[in-house]
Structure 1
């Protein structure tokens, strides 16, 4: 056990270590607040000067994170910066950067590799580097290890590599950063011990695994489990609809079985940074081993087809009223990827909007959590949220309920929509002017 490792573990355990959070988004920002709240000095690093300015002024750009919490962190010593050289002052660097897919549905590791390359000149003996971004098994060894050791540092002796997948559920009041168990895998036993020392003060339960690959695969299994089951129930929805059966009633009834069944509910498609993306990390990596993950790929195909299904059901509903989709005014209710949050990442609502626009619909949306359509890497609509009133609702030829926020007045929507397309089962018992999609 090296002296550097002993010193690092001691500093992490007694709260004197400086924690660097690289990437101050939905994962990094809550983590920063947690470490700051328990007395650690935290330096946040991000490439977005706008985010840095907001944080340093005591503000928050994430709806469920209060500005008062950021202000408290600033008072406790937190600071945000775009200066990667500040990494040299930190004892631990936690990387929370995006891992999207490219247009070929293959992993885009550029955010991870570019971040590590920017940090590499400032790596020093005694540094702990923990990657939290969801990725394929082998990333820590294949991408982080050579970069960490580039300057002559030896992993497990001079510098310590950890993979600990992020687990966040924005908008879920039942869980927070502290209460969600943390899986930690190290490149070596020394690395794992350092990782345990990093997370143990901040997280109620730390789950140690034997390697970074196991930790990387764990995250993928968690999300593939959900993606496959959602794909199954989405396919069941299409079958049940053709048979005139309410799939939501079916799932509720099946959920009364006290063993062997977990209820999953259908929707307009998958959203969020994890579930629509993570399975493809494994399918891509599996090809290196001559394997094809047919089950995973099939569920991905089903889930990706759901926005088309919603648009098709909308077209059918308009057709029954002797109207074409082209030229029709369509309102999409809820454009965040899940209820009660402002997170737009991979939202199926956006895919629905693009399909509608391509077919000539005149689009509007309403989402109190997203007042202005945000700048996104691949999508853009110059739109702002429409207030819901009896008059505004009745002006649209079709209203699509895509994300079922609690703040919507569902009775108002039902009473004043000419045609209501329900993708979330909110109007299961309605018999007039509702298309169940």
Structure 2
């Protein structure tokens, strides 16, 4: 994956020199503060809108403008009951929408503050933990299995398996080694490494994408539906108005005399309660989703999802749960399925958070697999080169090796032949 990062093609030594940092010492506190004041924190700031403007936007749009015109016309004709009724409905609609959006915004803000990520960083020659948003280009950080990468990082030493599905949609783990870039937004599935931060905030590929999403202002589907309804009603009312005006003028009626009738037809052409109905129904839907643990950050999102007709996804199927599970265990004639599961668990490590390891551990937990008396002496994690995990196990004073990996790899190492298993 190459996203045009200028540090991609540079060597580790060139990057260290350019960012003026020693790999064994890291930055000093003074240098960190200086770079933060110049480059900012490692975060993508959301554009803050005035609360007044957020509220007033509910009075803008085709339907709202037509209602406002109707209010003015009713006032000029001293139809104060219509003025109060239409104004009250508009204010009710705007208030409900504003309150629900503010409530969702506060929930999202509270959730973000509770999900702060800590990273291991080398500063002043000492390793410590700090908040991810405090990172600056030049920081030396430690990355291990299960870590969420919060900045673009060039690996100095070690290896890592990176899940970049959040960026590319591909759930396959990508092997990274010295000199490669770990991109913000990816998840470390295996391995350990030290790296130097080369980009933070909106300078990362993930940050640039987030910024583009924030700038996007697509027209809401609800607005399109209401606009179509209003246009259709106006066409019908225009026809009735034309016929009424022609007949009235032919009979000698004055325009002032038929103006109240014109106003009635205009008011009937505007669905006064339709925006309020949409807002209330979406607010109710958001509450029901929230009760099921689904966070709705934008009120109209429920309506957008409800009107979905076609869903296009790539071949990776990234809308699945992205979880592996053991469906069936096939053992040779010399072993029982419980023994196969037992050995698979012994060749797994929960701390690595590897999807395959976790699948076997979960299966063992369900089957209540007995691991009493087995002591793990050493463990070799899975790599693309080995295509297997290895563990040295001690049991009752004896040691043995157990391996778990690709069928072809394990079969080649054991030189075991089983016609029945090969056919499967």
Same fold, TM-score > 0.5, yes or no: no
Q: TM-score, normalized by length of structure 1?
A: 0.29
Higher helix share: 2
Larger Rg: 2
Higher relative contact order (CA 8 A, sep 6+): 2
